[in-house]
Structure 1
Amino acid sequence: MKNILKLAFMLFSAITFAQAGHIMQGVGSVNMSMGGASTAQPIDISGALQWNPAAISTFDNKILNFDLGLFFSSPELSSSYGPLTGVTEDDRGVSPMPALAMVWGNEESKHTFGVSAFGISGFGVTFPQNNNYPQDRMGNVNPNFDQSAPVNPINFPQMAGGFGHLESDYMLLQVGFTWAYEISDNFSVGIQPTINYGALELAPNPIASPSQTLGYPESDKASAIGIGAQIGVYYESDGGFKLGASYKTTQSFGDLEFKNTYLDGSAAPDVSFNMDYPAILSFGTGYSNETIDIALDYRMVDYENTDGFAEKGWEIAESGQMAGFPTGAVNGFGWKNINILSVGLQYKGIEKMPLRVGYTYSSNPIDEELAFFSTPATAVIANAFQLGFGYEINENFTLNGVFHYGKSDGKTSGSLLNPTPAVDFNGDGMPDGPWDATSNPLGVVPNSEVGYEMSTSMIMLGFSYTFKE
């Protein structure tokens, strides 16, 4: 099963970047163009399969959707320490975003079935190392330091107190199998078991404890399988008003097992980390007539009860010389729950060419004091705007497209943190760190700041094919 999911992952979800926390706001051209709103407005099968399994009951034919987008992001990572301040731009480039879905419906049957393969979650950054540092951690002056050249303390080499080259790559493919049942002409219920494949790569790997001499190691790409489910209800009145609700359970994953290597090529201890996908509660309303379709969705994403996101701060050693003190390994992101509001409008007044606009708002899951821990996952977009269209080539085939632009709500920022307290661990008579673990448990570095902000854009095209007898 893991090999099958890995193959599907490679084919349909090469790289995915999230918009709301680490969650995609929508799937496919149509749903994205509606801002992701579809809990009570099933305009297309992809949006219905993603956000409310009961809503696929509105489709009375066998329908196939395939979409492929090109996603562009421009994260910027900034930091300052005393007089040293600078910004590093991401150099990852363009990323593909595919989505595949199919529904089997029949007007004579109360049962509707669907299957989907969506990249629903992800984050990734590539910030190059900044070698223009004034001195290393031992106080040795860098003879090549240029005061007129760009600096960024967080991207200084590890031996100079920074993270060096900072890179992350997280992707999650979700395969869903959906069944909906029409209890009446107006009311449906649905259920969707889900199987997930996730993969994460980190450089350096903050989940591992650093070596005093070699720093943090880099990891290979670790993967894990997860399972979960989604249930939903859908109601459509005879007058065109619609209501919907769904609950996607926590997608529970096995541990990610990392193989680590220090920067000098030597082997580092392996570590494991559990990172689940959060539960999502969605409510929606909609209205349709001959000319327009309106959709409004609200979602709550439960990060605060999700492994990998609920935990925060540094790992504390339970035994040995470091007992009671931070090891330097990170417990988790420490994210808060977020609220997402999506709204979309489809105008059908032009024959065979519906036009769509959408907007999505997401609150920020990252607390100021924990901003440092989320530098590998900076893809938090507060405001996203979409403009899309459809073109009905014939009664079977429809072409869809969307343009997306998103931007963070200013800069997410906090202090730089140092996990090493002022304790003489190596017995040389000198403290190994600059701060007191009792009064400063996170290791806040005075007169420092780390921050990140970004904008995103995407062009996506897709087709919908209806198999009519």
Structure 2
Amino acid sequence: MKNYLVTFAFSLFAMTVFSQAGHIMQGVGSVNMSMGGAATGQPLDISGALQWNPAAISVFDENQLKLDIGFFFSSPELNSTVPEFDNNGQPTGNFFSGSTADDRGVSPLPAIAYVWTYPESKHTFGLSAFGISGFGVTFPESSSNPINMPQSMGGFGRVESDYSLLQVGLTWAYEVSDQFSIGVEPTFNYASLKLIPNPTANPTGAGYPSADKATALGFGAQFGVFYNSPSGFKAGASYKTKQSFSDFSLDNTYLDNTTATNDFKINYPAIYSVGLGYSLGNVDLALDYRMVDYENAEGFAEKGWTNTFSVAGFGWENINIISAGIQYKGINKLPLRLGYTYSSNPINSDLAFFSVPATAVIKNAFQFGFSFEASDKISLDAVYHYGSSGGSTSGPLLNPQFIPNFPPYGAIPGSEVSYDMTTSMIMVGASYTFGK
């Protein structure tokens, strides 16, 4: 009755893991996260400055080390509906629907940063190692959801994935004047990827294969300018180039135990940021705008199927991100912070199939954080984050064999796949100031 499900089930869930590969963390470290990620024009800590505007580290005139660790949890839920067919391939008029919840659990999110300068020097230097992107999906086998049904019944069964991206930056900032600074940051990246199954490989009669973990190296840069007026008004702008990676070389094993290798490239998209800040007395305000250029990043710019039924790319559109935060320092040794982040959706409904469950899409995120200034040298930080997709992303299931009758991607009549999700995270950190 569901004989055709095998054709698209492998593709669907193999692509679900990639829905998070382009996820841009809205902030780095406890302080920056608690400000909604806004730091381009308001550098409250070294991690936020190093991540969003290398020129902004010029405001720190003492050597400082910052360490953070976050514990991130996402809860996507996948829903699918497919029409039922009889043994002759004709629709019966009935539909089969179900849902599956992710059960991966908690993922760690590390960050380390160091800034140093010299007395009376116009130069400031920084070193950072940030986990800027990472995900994992585990959808268990289920007889109540057509996509997660056992393979013997035409579904896929259990789906697993693991992706992480570590970025190391070497930063230099120069004070052109007392109020204006410039900054440059070469970036070096290490990424790992595991896919079960792997839709970027050519399918055989046994379907799409599973891929072992593969790694890739990448590089890029970030450039920034920062203005800090005596009146408390601040402004900044930065451009983080596309992070160009080598190909992932994926070792594949098909269900019939045959093996093969394929290469696939995923680049991290370029990011344009502008920000404003204002500080007066016990209050610091921050507002950032970012544009993420998915449409010119390999792996995201391409869309649809190849002529061998592998996936060409995900067809994501550029997104806009707004980050805002406020810090109140009126309580002795206990600064309090509130942050909000808005992000648009990169997924066109016609292509939603390729990004299910698209856990990268968090429309609204809310943060509350604080610091405890234990001494002149030591500060302890914490933040709680909660995010929501703000509703479901949905579209038809796609099958390349249906393209002749339903171009351009082969939408299956009467089918639908949708997801929604929430995220939560607790992050703690500490900073130590060494002095000039």
Q: Give yes or no for contact 2:21–2:135 (8 Å, CA) kept in 1.
A: no
Matches of 2:113 and 2:279 in 1, distance apart?
24
Which residue does 1:244 correspond to in 2? 236
Matches of 1:88 and 1:22 in 2, distance apart?
22
Task: Kindly indicate which of the two structures has a greater share of residues assigned to strand.
Answer: 2
SS at match of 1:328: coil
2:301 pairs with one of 289, 301, 310? 310
Q: Give yes or no for contact 1:20–1:340 (8 Å, CA) kept in 2.
A: no
SS at match of 2:313: coil
Do structure 1's residue 414 and structure 2's residue 406 form an aligned pair?
Answer: no
1:231 pairs with one of 209, 223, 236? 223
1:120 pairs with one of 92, 116, 132? 132
Do structure 1's residue 463 and structure 2's residue 433 form an aligned pair?
Answer: no
Which residue does 1:169 correspond to in 2? 162
Which contiguous aligned blocks of 4+ residues in structure 1 show a shift greater than 4 angstroms? 17-21
Which residue does 1:11 correspond to in 2? none
Matches of 2:259 and 2:392 in 1, distance apart?
35
Unaligned runs of 5+ in 2: 1-17, 84-94
Matches of 1:26 and 1:219 in 2, distance apart?
31
Matches of 2:389 and 2:334 in 1, distance apart?
32
Do structure 1's residue 106 and structure 2's residue 98 form an aligned pair?
Answer: no
1:274 pairs with one of 265, 269, 283? 265
Q: One-letter code of the match for 2:305? A: W
Matches of 2:119 and 2:58 in 1, distance apart?
9
Deviation at 1:185, TM superposition (A): 0.2
Deviation at 1:436, TM superposition (A): 4.9
Q: Give yes or no for contact 1:32–1:386 (8 Å, CA) kept in 2.
A: yes
2:410 pairs with one of 420, 431, 443? 443
TM-score by length of 2: 0.91
1:453 pairs with one of 385, 407, 420? 420
Q: Give yes or no for contact 1:159–1:215 (8 Å, CA) kept in 2.
A: no
Matches of 1:293 and 1:352 in 2, distance apart?
15
Deviation at 1:18, TM superposition (A): 10
TM-score by length of 1: 0.85
Matches of 2:163 and 2:204 in 1, distance apart?
25
SS at match of 2:412: coil
Identity %: 65
Q: One-letter code of the match for 2:139? A: F
Unaligned runs of 5+ in 1: 1-16, 133-150, 317-326, 421-434
Q: Give yes or no for contact 1:20–1:380 (8 Å, CA) kept in 2.
A: no
Matches of 1:159 and 1:368 in 2, distance apart?
30
Matches of 1:57 and 1:436 in 2, distance apart?
56
Q: Give yes or no for contact 1:176–1:192 (8 Å, CA) kept in 2.
A: yes
Q: Give yes or no for contact 2:19–2:355 (8 Å, CA) kept in 1.
A: no
Deviation at 1:128, TM superposition (A): 1.2
Which residue does 1:44 correspond to in 2? 45
Q: Give runs of aligned pairs for residues 168-317 of structure 1, distance below 5 A.
A: 168-212=161-205, 214-264=206-256, 266-316=257-307
1:289-329, CA deviations, whole angstroms, 9 ceiling, x for partnerless residues?
A: 2211100000000000100000000012xxxxxxxxxx221
Matches of 1:245 and 1:436 in 2, distance apart?
45
1:402-453, CA deviations, whole angstroms, 9 ceiling, x for partnerless residues?
A: 0000000201111111122xxxxxxxxxxxxxx3526423111111111111
Q: 1:19 to 1:61 in 2, by over 3 A?
A: farther
Deviation at 1:263, TM superposition (A): 2.6
Which residue does 2:334 correspond to in 1? 353
SS at match of 1:49: helix
Matches of 2:154 and 2:21 in 1, distance apart?
31
Matches of 1:28 and 1:364 in 2, distance apart?
24
The RMSD of aligned alpha carbons is: 1.6
Q: Give yes or no for contact 1:174–1:196 (8 Å, CA) kept in 2.
A: yes
Do structure 1's residue 28 and structure 2's residue 29 form an aligned pair?
Answer: yes
Q: One-letter code of the match for 1:245? A: A
Deviation at 1:262, TM superposition (A): 1.3
Q: Give yes or no for contact 1:19–1:379 (8 Å, CA) kept in 2.
A: yes
Do structure 1's residue 371 and structure 2's residue 339 form an aligned pair?
Answer: no
Matches of 1:102 and 1:60 in 2, distance apart?
12
Which range is displaced more, 248-257 or 199-208?
A: 199-208
> Taking CA–CA contacts closer than 8 Å with sequence separation of 6 or more, which of the two structures ends up with the larger relative contact order?
2
Deviation at 1:105, TM superposition (A): 2.2
